Amino acid sequence: EASVPQEQAYSLLDRLPDMIHRTAHRSFLMLGDSGLGKTTLSLWLCEFFWTHIDTYGRWTIYIHLPSALIEVGDKKVLPGDILSVLLQRRRVLESCRADIMRQPLLLILDGYDEIADRRNIFRLNRWSKRDGWDIKMLTSCRPEALEK
């Protein structure tokens, strides 16, 4: 059994928000077995970033991916404009939707392993900086879903 000296040990919860905020990376993948706590951590991060919005300056939106699917023919797929679709479903006024989409965002996408659509969500939604977006994305998934 390996041990870490106390002065080198740290809590992931103490460091994770800064790791997400300070890195130039825009996409993060949280892998874990079923029941490990991916959804709990996702919801905690969402709450944490909203509580500390003055420090991090990024609006956080939690998205349960299976709930975001739309029917196209006989398939359920992710929409190409997932933010607009979800904000419209939640009856957010159009003027407010535009304001939200102009903000720096952290999208927490939970349940990637629960959907069959394996397209790249970042590319599908055209969330590049050149398209005017300032988005970071954290996606949760079980490891076996990526092996398919």
Cα→Cα distances 110→39, 63, 96, 142, Å? 7, 6, 24, 10
User: What is the percentage of the chain residues whose pLDDT exceeds 70?
Assistant: 93
pLDDT of 130 > 80? The answer is no
Q: Using DSSP bridges, classify how beta strands 135-141 and 105-110 pair: parallel, antiparallel or unpaired.
A: parallel
Mean per-residue pLDDT over the chain, rounded: 87
pTM of the model: 0.84
What is the tens place of the pLDDT at every residue in 79-114? 888 988 888 888 888 888 888 888 999 999 999 999
What is the tens place of the pLDDT at every residue in 22-60? 888 899 999 999 999 999 999 999 999 999 999 999 999
Closest CA to 69 of 82, 58, 56: 82
Place of tokens 């092996």: 147
